[in-house]
Structure 1
Amino acid sequence: MLHEEKKEKFHQLVENKFQIYNSLFMSLPYDKMSNIGMLLPFLYEESKAGYEAGKSPEEIVEEFFSKHTELKTEEQKTELLFKIIQYIERQVVLYDSIEDAAFPELHSDRDAGTVLQLHERALQEHQLEATRKKLKDFAIKVVFTAHPTQFYPNAVQRILHDLRTAITNDSVTAIDMLLQQLGKTPFLNQQKPSPLDEALSIIFYLRYVYYDTIGELYKKLKNTFSTSNFTPDQDVIQMGFWPGGDRDGNPFVTAEITKQVARELRLSILKSYYAHLKKVRRRLSFRGVSEVLDGLSDDLYDAIFKEEAAISAGDILSKIEEAEKILIEQHNGLFYNLLEDFKDRVNIFGTHFATLDIRQDSRVHQQVIDEIIEKKSGLNLDEISVEEKLDWILNTNVSLDPNDFEGITKDTLQNVYHIKDIQKKNGQRGMNRYIISNSDHIKDVLNVFALFRFCGYREEEINMDIVPLFETMEGLDAGEQVMKQLYELPVYKKHLERRGNAQTIMLGFSDGTKDGGYLKANWEIYETKEQLTKISDRYGIKVIFFDGRGGPPARGGGKTHDFYASQGKTIANHQIELTVQGQTITSVFGNKDQAKYNFEQLLTAGIENDVFKNAKKDLSEKERTLLEELAEISYKKYSDLKAHPRFVSYLQEMSTLEYYGRTNIGSRPTKRGAGGELKFEDLRAIPFVGSWSQLKQNVPGFFGFGFAMQELKNQGRFDEVKSLYKGSDFFKTLVLNSMMSMNKSYFPLTSYMRKNEKFGEFWTILFDEYNLSKSLMLELTGFQELMEEEPLSQMSVKIREKIVLPLLSIQQYALIKIQKEEGNRDAYEKLVMRSLFGNINASRNSA
């Protein structure tokens, strides 16, 4: 579809439908919300015209009250603002549902990045065999996390699900009823979800979206690429799972919770098999076959409902194979495809559904190891070096009882003990990785290796990959040296041999961007991957990169297909693996059509990279030097901003940062460590990036980029930057993703801050860099407006920004009242918190 065609189709399927259903929405008799639909357009118009005229949010909201209402008291006014927020929240759900329902019409099976398009291209370029070969050495893994960027409670998620179906069927009656339900359904959790609640929320998607999506996509791959001597591996599409296993900074994730979540994952996949088998048995009603399948159905039922009953993937497969044999020998293989599809699902999902990862911060492990050394060695911690500690933990044979310890040490040891039991029930694919946040030294990996030894595992029984996560600038710089030392260490070398000489390494885009700024973080990670590829190849290790990417570009998100398709041959490409969270789960993988399309985009990006030649993927020495120069200049600019005395206090006092922790959306605290003064390094990436987003400033997604380009322009070298943009897919992707961040920025909202005595100068620094970056990016790309090449995303952003503009006015109005210490502080703080929800949900098209 051409740009203009796409725009027209979007206009018909999304924009027009939203107008129609929104009018239906406006007439619904909500509790105390009868006239909101009439008042909202006035607040929007006041906001739009007001910001263009340089008015503050306070002036805009006060004028709205005086012109369009007769409200006199503060209580009446805040009550109206609460109702408007509730109304807009529901408008966002309606818009989400309409956009989701239009997805299949706006995207074709033969779009760039789909399996069919990959096959066509491979055929035309005589690369079918090369594509099949790559499929043998490639997989994608999407790892679902519980990070709190999703504000819809489960009840609303389900309405969204049903609303999308009703919109697809154009059923006005059903839409009307669902909108009424939506009007009366609370959008707030009464209390913070537990890690188990978070896990169950995502397991809902596993059962009702991904079980079928991944099964059908695998079938499509088979049908497209299989030959008599080649079938794609069932592990080509995998799922990972963090809720209940990720204890980094989350005191509520305990060893017991991890066990419970592993059990829920196992029971959920068995329930999916049980339901699937029912459909298979309806067709395979033949003598001999039906008896075997009935028996399997009983076995699955027992494994779900009887604690003592157990079933392995091998048990299920042997029954299917028994049925298969009878079907082929006695019944001409009738309906064999149904049995084959079921068998493929069991091979894909085992008894684990998704692989549950363990993650903890390296500093916590050090604390645990120190306590063990202190208790068991008699050594004085103050007098021994890091090397002596390592020597002790790797060469001392002690067997520890968790009950001899308390707190985090006890729980960490219990968790390691439980891994064996989880692997027995869920299979080794159910849990096989231990991830260490904030890694920057070999001790961070070896401490975890030692914990297994202390919990009674013989070295050959440690069936776990130990995965360092390099996320700060220091960690990324140290990565190569850390891995070199590990690869050379005999005890770790043996461990890797037992793990098939494969090493997974995780890289943190979110914290990297927070730490180093947008351009520097992305370039640093690119270079680190190159160094780690080189060192791993030298030692004969197959390295797999796991990217901690968030939704928005400022957290490493953005257009993921373009990003992965732009990595050259200097970076190992055995697997594309990334974290997905919050609204990105809903917006990118939230229903079967979207999930299938986006899984395909990831899969083909990695395969294209190896199979098709493209000079724009490989950086020349000249391009590399220029990228390095731009990254360093932007890093300097971003570092100066971070060092500004107003940096942290600006976020604390002028943004929503302090309010993230009070929302009942996630079980994890918003900062590492407890109490004390807020330090930059303790800030979590999500509230950090989210607060900039709520201010509509999106600083981590562009700051320093424009400055770096201007520096080269001042030297008369802007043509070099233009050549880099034209010649490097990687740099082009960074520019376009940064544009997305800027397109969602709106500085007129906060322009009142320029007059603020304390923060005026700081605000001006941000605004100037935004203007500089925007003008230079437009000049660089030749675009007339941001995101010109992506009409669908551009139009979606435009409509969403329009929906939330009144919400932003309310949020800023409330923040100003709090800063001025005027009126009922409690009511204004609640307004700030409530407005967080709609703003975040409306930004869902961020990956």
Structure 2
Amino acid sequence: MSDDDGMTRGPARAANGNGSDAALKDDIRFLGRILGDIVRLNEGAEVFDLVERIRQTSIRFHRDEDRAAHDELDALLGGMDTVQGLKIVRAFSYFSHLANIAEDQDRLRQSRAGMPDGDGPAAGTLDYAMARAATDGLDPDRLAAFFDTARVGPVLTAHPTEVRRKSTLTREAEIARLLDRRDRERPQGEEAAAIEEEVTRAVLTLWQTAMLRRTRLTVIDEVVNGLSYYDETFLTEVPAVHARVEDMLARRAGSTAEARAGVASFLKMGSWIGGDRDGNPFVTADVLRTTMRLHTRQAMKFYLAELHELGAELSLSATLVPVSDDLAALAAASPVTPEHQRQEPYRLAVAGIHARMAATAEALDAADAVTRPVPAAPRYADPAGLARDLDVVHESLVANGSVLLARGRLRRLRRAVDCFGFHLAVLDLRQNSAVHERTVAELLEVAAPGTDYLSLDEEARIAVLERELATTRPLVSPFAKYCEETTAEFAIFAEAAATHRRLGPQAIENVIISKTDGASDLLELALLLKEVGLVRPDGTAAVNIVPLFETIADLRAAPQIMRRVFACPAYRRLVASRGEMQEVMLGYSDSNKDGGFVTSRWELYKAETELVACFREAGVALRLFHGRGGSVGRGGGSAYDAILAQPAGAVGGRIRVTEQGEIISSKYANPGLGRRNLETFVAATLEASLLPQPACADLEADMAAMEELSDTAFTAYRALVYETPGFEDYFWASTVITEIASLNIGSRPASRSRTRRIEDLRAIPWVFSWSQCRAMLPGWYGFGAAVTAWRDRHGEAGLDRLRRMYRDWPFFTTLLSNMEMVLAKTSMAIASRYAELVPDEALREAVFGRIRAEWQSSEAALLAITGQTMVLERTPQLARSIRDRFPYLDPLNHVQVEMLRQHRSEAGSDRHLSGIHLTINGISAGLRNSG
């Protein structure tokens, strides 16, 4: 029931067959039995019996809507003391975690099997995309040309929505591997017993490991956690995706992959972890330096290990196979000369490459990546030198009858070097435009006392900035003293420049401006970058300057802002120096918090449409960077559907997307699933860029209808969240927002300032809180009011138009599909329990009454448009997955409410807070989306 399953869930999507359901249920029963045995062994029969009684009663209530079961459940959960409650919470939380592992294994199983009944490859796979390309008559050369210029970039971020510890994730990954082995090998007898014992050992370790961190994560902790996915998935699976594409193109062309030039590396990983300092004072120049050192160490460790294994594999004897002259020279230059390897030129050549890489690691302050003694050798100046030597090995093998050997580890290693270099991932820098503005203002005031930059209007600021960009005179003086904020900003930029000198410009390519609301924001950053040499006096830039448009107002202004900045000759030269390409980032989270789900999605779509036109006018290539979160309220949902629902021309073979919080582990902790998700990303980009998408019969009228719906939804949402007296009090009392702020799940503060204002709250904990109380408000509120008003004005003909829009317009289909999933996870019965925590009865009844009424209206509107009698009727497998979770989620919600009530009373204790944090973990696992 993941929000981001990588597969389509359109109106015609059917469930998979019963065989898969049976295998999934078997896995869940297997893991559930093991967990039950461990609970009984560790906590005693009394606790086990209580867990079972709660579980069976909750199932009976959800299956039969049995009121007696509901009352019995209330009595069971309400009568527990805190110590007993914590044990129950841990049991139900771990069951959710194990059920997630089983569901992920089922997705992997389905991916291997393809579509049932011989229907061909599944949508969202490379096989499906390539089959569509063949059907549409795209020749292999055009496809190859697409991949040669494409750029697909998943970007990992450290937003605080991952509530699991690294220790927990490691054990869960172990269980996933064992479950996959059990599924593939179908062991019997002693082998089956051995696997079960290994799984039991891993689950026991989980049970006996503290679920929560006792201290808050540091930024470097987050960096290390993010790097773990490279070992597990990215370093091996990114090359594997490229190899698949090359082989598919070769088959289409009727040749071998070696007979045609390999495609360029189109899949490049990115990261914000250690570079995103918007609202995070703990990201400093020292942290940036350490982050890049850790990146380099990770890459070096991988290359050295692969080279060691490659040398062991290439034991080919010169007495049996010839080698190229270049390979012979490489072998002769090797500092490794043992007697038994003198007739093994490939092994000698690889050993020499290994020695040079060890020297490179030491030169780049990553000597700890070298794990064995290595003879002295000259370092590589850059990754291109390493790539050239590996090419020599490849070309010799291909030319001398060893093509199959070239297609193994060496092929993957060559691709890894091209994708990851010495920097591993492209690290983005991000800061708020207000910080840049204050920094520039101080620099100008120090340089020319009396200058009041902040008092200038937009056009006057642009004029000042253009003058400064045109001069070669530095603005920063080494003799002046600047404030702490300005000093810290320049330290970051100086460290970025140093990183370029050390690792190359590919290490830090993008500098992002949060809260961009004017052309001056881009010019301010250009001026700051000029002071450290990342923007040069000749008008060229070493990085991309990336505006981030986040609020509804900023999204609406984005096209005009870009037109204005493109009209600045100095900025236009910077764009030209970056290959006539400009990246623009769009924020899903803050636009949702600002204007609600419907309006956020619509304004994003409109902004993209208008940006495409604006960039076409300017002759600039557009690369969109989508700041999507894990939950639907923050841009989550099927990545495949989302990319295909983009307006025409918005993808163009170039797209970057953030991967945030718990979504990273759910998509990439398992290598098999990781490859599947990466392939989905690539396949969707290919389809959206090259293949015809469904066309609306009357797009202009549909867009007018959507504008009308959005206007009403926006009014309804703003009226509740920003215009209802006391709404802030309701939110802080009826959710776990206060307790989330004290949960050690990230380095970043929950709010941008020390206020309770919704405007100042970060979008992540905003969505997280509504998810925990099962109201899910950011994923649907306002839709019911919008459709009701539309039908009042347009009658049945209006409803028919909405039905046709749902059937024919991918944007509207995806909008409703994502909302439908959120509505399926919503429980107003549970949400009402949280509402009872609001001490002001009148406020409670007024606000919750409006929320419940809008939920009813939104669900009714969805069903009327989709023609279903119940939510998720056309996706029964997903419906079952969600429904089957409720008996395990409801007890956690009940305990959380009781512990919130006790903790907030005078009798509250640290034990209650710990219990609340445990319930947050369990509910997040059960919902599979936190923020």
TM-score surpassing 0.5?
yes
CA distance in 1, matches of 2:263, 2:727: 50
The 2-side partners of 1:804 and 1:373 are apart by 57
Distance 1:337 1:16 in 2: 38
User: Residues 55, 770 of structure 1: CA spacing in aligned structure 2 closer, same or farther, 3 A cutoff?
Assistant: farther
Contact kept? 1:634, 1:708, Cα under 8 Å: yes
Question: Take 2:597 and 2:576, find their aligned partners in 1: how far apart are those partners?
Answer: 37
Pairwise CA distance, 1:233: 3.6
Counterpart of 1:349?
420
Sort the Cα spacing of 1:540 and 1:101 in 2 relative to 1 into closer, same or farther, 3 A.
same
Cα deviation for residue 845 of structure 1 reads: 6.3
Cα deviation code 1:660-711 (max 9, x no counterpart): 11011100000112x2x31121111110011111110111111111111111
Of residues 829, 832, 837, the one that matches 2:913 is: 829
Q: Which moved more, 1:29-38 or 1:296-305?
A: 29-38
Pick from 780, 793, 803 the counterpart of residue 878 of structure 2. 793
Is residue 490 of structure 1 aligned with residue 574 of structure 2?
Answer: no
For residues 566 and 645 of structure 2, what CA distance do their matches in structure 1 show? 29
Q: Distance in 2 between matches of 1:364 and 1:307?
A: 32
Contact 1:6 1:791 (C-alpha < 8 Å) held by counterparts = no
TM-score normalised to structure 2 length: 0.85
Q: Over aligned residue pairs, what C-alpha RMSD do you find? A: 2.7
Query: Once the two structures are aligned, what percentage of the paired residues are identical?
Result: 24
Counterparts of 1:17-36 in structure 2 under 5 Å?
17-28=27-38, 31-32=42-43, 35-36=46-47
Say whether residues 1:843 and 2:927 are aligned partners. yes
Matched, 1:124 2:124: no
Contact 1:814-1:832 within 8 A present in 2 as well: yes
Give the stretch that moved more between structures: 551-560 or 447-456. 447-456
Please name the residue that 1:556 is paired with. 635
Query: Separation in 1 of the partners of 2:345 and 2:879?
Result: 58
Aligned counterpart, 2:393: 323
* 1:247-304 Cα deviation digits (max 9, x unpaired): 0111111111011111111111121111222232222223332222101111222333
Counterparts of 1:140 and 1:299, CA distance in 2: 31
Distance 1:4 1:713 in 2: 30
Residue correspondence of structure 1 range 363-442 to structure 2 within 5 A? 363-381=434-452, 384-396=456-468, 397-400=473-476, 404-442=481-519
Separation of aligned partners in 1, 2:401 and 2:545:
49
Question: Which of 819, 823, 837 is matched with 1:742 structurally?
Answer: 823
Corresponding position: 1:593 with 2:672: yes
Q: Which moved more, 1:323-332 or 1:428-437?
A: 323-332
Residue 220 of structure 1: how far off its partner (Å): 0.3
Q: Deviations over 1:793-829 (max 9, x none)?
A: 333222333322111111112233456x363354433
Distance 1:459 1:37, change over 3 A: farther
Q: In the TM superposition, what whole-angstrom CA distance separates every residue of 1:63-87 from its partner, at most 9, and x where no partner exists?
A: 2168xx7x6xxxxx01111111222
Structure 2 contact 767–778 (Cα < 8 Å) conserved = yes
Match of 2:166 in 1: 154
Q: CA deviation at 1:399?
A: 4.5
Partner Cα separation in structure 2 for residue 607 and residue 4 of structure 1: 24
**C-alpha displacement of 1:365:** 1.3
Question: Is 2:132 the partner of 1:106?
Answer: no
Q: CA deviation at 1:407?
A: 2.1
Give the counterpart of 2:206 among 173, 177, 182: 182
CA spacing shift, 1:299–1:792, aligned 2, 3 Å: farther
AA of the residue aligned to 2:51: L
Q: Which of these residues, 498, 503, 512, is aligned with residue 591 of structure 2?
A: 512
Alignment deviations for residues 426-466 of structure 1 (CA, whole Å, 9 cap, x no partner): 32221110001111111211111111222355334630100
Q: Secondary structure at the match of 2:265?
A: helix
Deviation at 1:244, TM superposition (A): 0.2
- State how far apart, in whole Å, the 1-side matches of 2:579 and 2:820 are: 42
State the one-letter code of the partner of 1:803. Y
Q: CA deviation at 1:37?
A: 2.9
- Report how far residue 511 of structure 1 moved: 0.9
Provide the residue aligned with 2:778 in structure 1.
700
CA distance in 1, matches of 2:178, 2:676: 21
Taking structure 1 as reference, are residues 384 and 520 closer, same or farther at Cα in structure 2, changes over 3 Å only? Answer: closer
- Is the CA contact (8 Å cut-off) linking 1:617 and 1:730 kept in structure 2? no
Aligned position for 1:654: 734
TM-score, scaled to structure 1 = 0.93
Aligned equivalents of 1:459, 1:34: Cα separation in 2: 75
Partner letter of residue 571 of structure 1? A
Cα distance in 2 between the residues matched to 1:779 and 1:444 = 45
Aligned ranges 1:441-452 → 2 under 5 Å: 441-452=518-529
Cα distance in 1 for residues equivalent to 2:629 and 2:17: 28
Partner of 1:189, secondary structure, is coil
Contact persistence 1:143–1:239 (CA under 8 A): yes
Q: Tell me which residue corresponds to 2:118.
A: none
Among candidates 243, 256, 276, match of residue 273 of structure 2: 243
Equivalent position of 1:293 in the other structure: 350
- Amino acid in structure 2 at the alignment position of 1:681: E
**Residues 804-813 or 830-839, more deviating:** 830-839
My pick for the range that moved more, 691-700 or 447-456, is 447-456
For the pair 1:258 / 2:285, whether they are aligned, the reply is no
Q: CA contact under 8 A between 1:508 and 1:549: conserved in structure 2?
A: yes
Task: Please report how far the alpha carbon of residue 545 of structure 1 lies from its aligned counterpart in structure 2 after TM superposition.
Answer: 0.4
Quick check: 1:271 aligned with 2:298?
Answer: no
Tell me how far apart the structure 2 counterparts of residues 53 and 22 of structure 1 sit (CA, whole Å): 24
SS, match of residue 359 in structure 1: strand
Within 2, Cα distance between the matches of 1:350 and 1:253? 24
Cα gap change, 1:421 to 1:822, in 2 (>3 Å): closer
Query: Using a 3 Å threshold, how does the CA distance of structure 1 residues 427 and 799 change in structure 2: closer, same or farther?
Result: farther
2:14/2:874 contact within 8 Å kept: no
* Residues 721-774 of structure 1: per-residue CA shift (max 9 Å, x gap): 112112211101100100111111001113354793331110010101111111
User: Which segments of 5 or more consecutive residues in structure 2 lack a partner in the other structure?
Assistant: 1-6, 115-120, 183-194, 317-343, 366-378
Amino acid at match of 2:525: V
3-state SS in 2 of match to 1:757: helix
1:61–1:798 distance in 2 versus 1, CA, 3 Å: closer
- How many residues are paired up? 835
Question: Greater shift after overlay, 99-108 or 661-670?
Answer: 99-108
Residue correspondence of structure 1 range 169-208 to structure 2 within 5 A: 169-170=181-182, 171-208=195-232
* Larger mean Cα displacement after TM superposition, 637-646 or 5-14: 5-14
Residue 358 of structure 1, CA deviation: 0.2
What residue number does 2:239 align with? 215
**What does residue 74 of structure 1 align with?**
none
**Cα distance in structure 2, aligned partners of 1:519 and 1:5:** 27
C-alpha contact (below 8 Å) 2:768/2:930 kept by paired residues: no
User: Could you tell me whether the CA contact under 8 Å between 1:549 and 1:556 is conserved in 2?
Assistant: yes
> Match of 1:439, SS?
coil
Question: Which of residues 76, 92, 98 in structure 2 aligns to 1:64?
Answer: 76
- Aligned pair 1:469/2:548, yes or no? yes
> In structure 1, the residue corresponding to 2:546 is in which secondary structure?
strand
Confirm or deny: 8 A CA contact 2:96 2:926 kept in the other structure: yes
Counterpart of 1:169, as a letter, is: R
> Which residue identity does 1:112 align to in structure 2?
A
CA distance in 2, matches of 1:300, 1:419: 24
Give the drift of 1:548: 0.3
CA 1:218–1:328 in 2, change beyond 3 Å: closer, same or farther?
A: closer
Alpha carbons of structure 1 residues 291 and 331: separation in structure 2 relative to 1, 3 Å = farther
- Find the aligned partners of 2:885 and 2:275 in 1 and give their Cα distance: 34
Q: Does the aligned pair in 2 maintain the 1:54–1:751 contact within 8 Å?
A: no
Whether the 8 Å contact between 2:148 and 2:264 is mirrored in structure 1 is no
Asked if 2 retains the 8 angstrom alpha-carbon contact of 1:114 and 1:604, the reply is yes
Seen in structure 2, the aligned counterparts of structure 1 residues 733 and 125 have a Cα distance that, compared at 3 Å, is: same
